[in-house]
Amino acid sequence: MKKPLIIIAAILTTASVAVPNMLFAHDGATGIVKERMDNFKATQGHLKAIGGLMRSQDYAAIIEHAEQIKAWADKIPEYFPAGSGAAPSAAKARIWEDFDGFKAAAKAHATATQGIIDAAAAEDMTALTSAFRATADSCGGCHKVFKK
Ligand code: HEC
């Protein structure tokens, strides 16, 4: 009876090592394209975490996550050098046709995220709720125009 268990354990170990590679391969993205994808994935995780922490009103933890989102928001345009939109990137050519507009969308996102930080610092749940919504809208607002 022991052998099958060992085999199953070995399969599970192999699988758990292989899964992260598959998840983060982003269909072959490399270099700065992969870096920005990883940063967007991370930012999505931080936003989700804030949603959960709002229920427990853990303002200090909310601020930590929001600061991570804000730090990335400030850097987004630097991660979109001209000519980096080829597959597997989901970036639209429009980013480089209207780079000022893209920078403005990143700035609006940074400003909305700062709203989360300020509202959490003030422990103001009403302001936090609307800042959270504004931040999520700022993700979608940029995606709608600049992401495939
Ligand atoms: C200023 C524009 C902009 C803002 C703001 C923005 N995104 Fe994105 N996002 C993009 C673009 C462009 C891509 C496509 C990148 C690529 O494939 O090269 C992307 C890709 C993604 C991806 C896919 C990453 C992958 O693995 O391929 C996720 C997830 C994501 N964004 C989540 C978010 C979340 C959550 C927010 C807000 C907290 C956000 N984004 C804010 C422009 C933006």
65 is in an annotated binding site: no
**What dotted CATH number matches 30-146?**
1.20.120.10
pLDDT, position 3: 55
Question: Which residue among 40, 46, 50 is best mutated to probe the pocket of ligand 1, counting the most ligand atoms within 8 A of its Cβ?
Answer: 40
Residue 21, pLDDT > 60, answer no
Q: Chain-wide mean pLDDT for the chain?
A: 88
Omega before residue 4 within 30° of 0, cis: no
Which among 65, 114, 143 is the best mutation to test ligand 1's pocket, defined by most ligand atoms within 8 Å of the CB? 143
Instruction: Quick: pLDDT tens for 113-123.
Output: 999 999 999 99
Question: Measured from the CB, is residue 106 less than 6 Å from ligand 1?
Answer: yes
109 assigned to a ligand binding site: no
* Euclidean distance between CA atoms 70 and 96, whole angstroms: 22
Amino acid letter at 90?
A
- Work out the pLDDT band at 10, boundaries 50, 70, 90: very low
